[in-house]
Structure formats: structure tokens, C-alpha cells
Amino acid sequence: MAGVPDPMSVTDPDPASHPRRVRLLAAMFATSGVLHFLVPRLFEAIVPRWLPAKRALVYLSGAAEIGCAAGLLTEAAWAGPASAGLLLAVWPANIQMAVDETREGQSLVRRVGLWVRVPLQVPMIRTALAARRG
């Protein structure tokens, strides 16, 4: 359909806002990465049950997020693909959190917010993959 961007394309439909989106993604990574070290228990709770060494994975993913944030801000060639890979790697944790909150009967607003967050990984991955093209 003409005029409708392909959500799986890495071409940037709005190049003018691209630098702002990359900075926003970097800020999200930096904030989340620091929180992994400040409140690791919060993140341990969303590591999928089948994965071992939850605390180590939390610290590792926090360090990776901080590294990706720095790479995106400095326009390092590796940062876009690494950020996309990281977003793919943590996607199961986002799904696990939504599943757990749904099972526990949390508020409807919270459950909807967590489930809406799951597909929002797609535009974040697109931004990461297009980071060096902007």
C-alpha cells in the first residue's frame, strides 16, 4: 500500500527526526542499564524462568545497555546492530513480565501497558538498525 511504511523495513520513514530517536533510544538504554545495577531484584523477576544465573544476566544486560547507549551517542559503527541484538535478546523478559502480571491479575491498565510494550520493540529495533544511516 503506497504511503504506508513497512514496519519491518530498516529504512527511516522520517529522516528528520532520526537523530532525536537515536538519542532517545540511547537515553532509554542508559537509564535502564543503570537501574539494572541499582535495583537488580526488579530485573531478576522478569528474567525467563528457564534461564540460570539471573543476577549475572541482569548485570550483564545492564552493562550491555550502558555500552550500547554510549555507542549510539558516539555513532560507533557497531552500536546499531548491537543495540538491535540486545533488544531482541531482552524481548523474552518483556513478554515474561506481561505474562506474569496477567496471571497475577494486576490492574488492567498495567497489563495493557505491558502488552503494548511488547510490539514497541519493533520500532526500537528499526531505530537501532538505522542508527548509522541517519
pLDDT in tens, 82-92: 999 999 998 88
Q: What is the mean pLDDT of residues 106-120?
A: 86
Check pLDDT > 70 for residue 8.
no
Identify the pLDDT of residue 16. Answer: 54
Global pTM value: 0.79
1-5, 51-55, 62-66, 103-107: range with highest mean pLDDT: 62-66
**Three-class secondary structure of residue 128 per DSSP:** helix
Virtual CA dihedral for 12, 17, 22, 25, nearest 10 degrees? -100
Extents of the domains making up the chain:
16-133
Q: What is the mean pLDDT of residues 51-78?
A: 95
Given a contact cutoff of 8 angstroms between Cβ atoms, the answer to whether 66 and 60 are in contact is no
Identify the pLDDT of residue 94. Answer: 86
Rounded Cα distance between 24 and 46, Å, is: 23
Phi, psi of 36 (to 5 degrees): -60, -35
Q: What is the mean pLDDT of residues 99-127?
A: 87
